[in-house]
Amino acid sequence: MSAAGAPGAVGVPGGPAPVDDGVYRIHWVPGTDRLLAVCFCGEKREFEDPVELWDWLLAHPEHGA
């Protein structure tokens, strides 16, 4: 996995683009206790609590996409 802001990181030029394929993605942010949630709609948000992360992902479309 790439560090946030490094080439290959989600949302960084040259990194993976959001894909509207109905798949939720969760990435660990290296060097931290944080998780990056990526909804299939392209919306992204960092979390420390995995329960809050899943609540946010499963609340689609109410999370403001």
**37 neighbors 9 (Cβ within 8 angstroms):** no
**30 neighbors 3 (Cβ within 8 angstroms):** yes
Residues with Cβ within 8 Å of residue 9, at least 6 apart in sequence: 2, 3, 15
The mean pLDDT value for 2-21 works out to 52
pLDDT at 1 over 70: no
Q: Is the entire prediction scored with pTM above 0.85?
A: no
Q: Is 33 exposed, middle or buried (0-12, 13-18, 19+ CB in 10 A)?
A: exposed
All structural domains of the chain with their residue ranges:
25-58
C-alpha of 61 from chain center: 15
Mean pLDDT, rounded, of the chain: 77
